[in-house]
Amino acid sequence: MTTIRVEETPHLTAILRLADTALVLSHRLSEWCGHAPMLEEDLALANIALDLLGQARLLYQHAAELEGKGRTEDDYAYLRDAPQFRNYLIAELPRGDFAFTIVRQTLFSAYFHPFWRRAANSTDRTLAAVAAKAEKELAYHLRHAGAWLVRLGDGTEESHRRTREALDALWPYTGEFFEVDAVSRAMIEAGVLPDPEALRPNFEETVDRLLREAGLPRPPAVWMQSGGLRGVHTEHLGHMLAVMQHLQRAYPGARW
């Protein structure tokens, strides 16, 4: 099968943003499997990747229901090109070193933990059910990443330097969490999505507390990167999809 054309409504777009973000980040985390600094982390990162993949699947299944064209979760994951992906840019950046992964997981979870907690009250019942599950998972992800952030920030000169570099590199990608366009405005008003502004105090409090414990400076306000939500990505997503979608694209219509 060739590339699908999704007829996006604000509701469908909102769900795809969440699904794509979870899938893409899960994929990046899975790249660690077998290559982590210690066996315990091979397992922990795989666990987190599995949680995110599970969330992505539920959300794609929900998207398929909303679209009502008989599509499957795999159609969205494997048969769209990069410009149709709606994930936050932070999720697609290459895995980097362990500090980069830990900082990304910390920032991501510091936002998405309160996000899912609030989304558990969504007027979209399916989304609310996903949120109830995801909130518990994100609580663990945040504990795991936060504990490592503190170890790395406080540990050695090298770990401190690497963590600080990762923080500087990733910070400009946190602006997207709080971006509100016409799609998300409509969904916030319909009670489907929480308002990111309402999550900001919680995000900042978590980040400030962890950075303080880790002995890391809060990055200065910088120009924030943007584009993922409307399909304008970094150069990295195309490569990821070329690998991820290879079999589905090479053997159109085959069942696996």
Partner 1 sequence: MYTQALNERIDGPRVVEDPEKLAAFQARIDAEEKIEPNDWMPEAYRRTLVRQISQHAHSEVVGMLPEGNWLTRAPTLKRKAALLAKIQDEGGHGLYLYAAAETLGVSREELYEQLLSGKAKYSSIFNYPTLTWADIGCIGWLVDGAAIMNQIPLCRTSYGPYARAMIRICKEESFHQRQGYEIMLALCRGTPEQKAMAQDALNRWWWPALMMFGPPDSESVHTEQSMRWKIKRFTNDELRQKFVDATVPQAHYLGLTIPDPELRYDEATGHWRYGPIDWDEFKRVIAGFGPCNRERLAARRKAHEEGRWVREAAIAHAEKRRMRERAQRLAAE
In angstroms, give the least distance from the CB of 85 to partner 1: 15
> Angle, nearest 10°, between helix axes 196-214 and 125-154?
20
Interface positions with partner 1 (CB under 8 A): 23, 27, 30-31, 33-43, 46-47, 49-50, 53-54, 56-57, 60, 73-74, 77-78, 97-98, 150-152, 154-156, 158-159, 162, 240, 243-244, 246-248, 251, 254-256
Closest to partner 1 by CB, 221 vs 243, is 243
In angstroms, give the least distance from the CB of 151 to partner 1: 4
Cβ atoms of residues 59 and 126 within 8 Å: no
In angstroms, give the least distance from the CB of 46 to partner 1: 4
Closest to partner 1 by CB, 87 vs 174, is 87
Cβ atoms of residues 18 and 128 within 8 Å: no
3-state SS, 61-85, equals: HHHHHHHCCCCCHHHHHHCCCHHHC
In angstroms, give the least distance from the CB of 188 to partner 1: 28
Closest to partner 1 by CB, 91 vs 193, is 91
In angstroms, give the least distance from the CB of 5 to partner 1: 20
Q: Of 255, 249, 256, whose CA–CA distance to 3 is shortest? A: 249
In angstroms, give the least distance from the CB of 79 to partner 1: 12
Closest to partner 1 by CB, 54 vs 238, is 54
Closest to partner 1 by CB, 78 vs 173, is 78
Overall size of the chain counted in residues: 256
Closest to partner 1 by CB, 43 vs 222, is 43
Which parts of 31-121 fold into alpha helices (H)? Answer: 39-67, 73-78, 89-92, 98-119
Q: Of 113, 118, 104, 119, whose CA–CA distance to 136 is shortest? A: 113
- SS3 state at 143: helix
Distance CA 212, CA 181 (A): 32
Cβ atoms of residues 95 and 161 within 8 Å: no
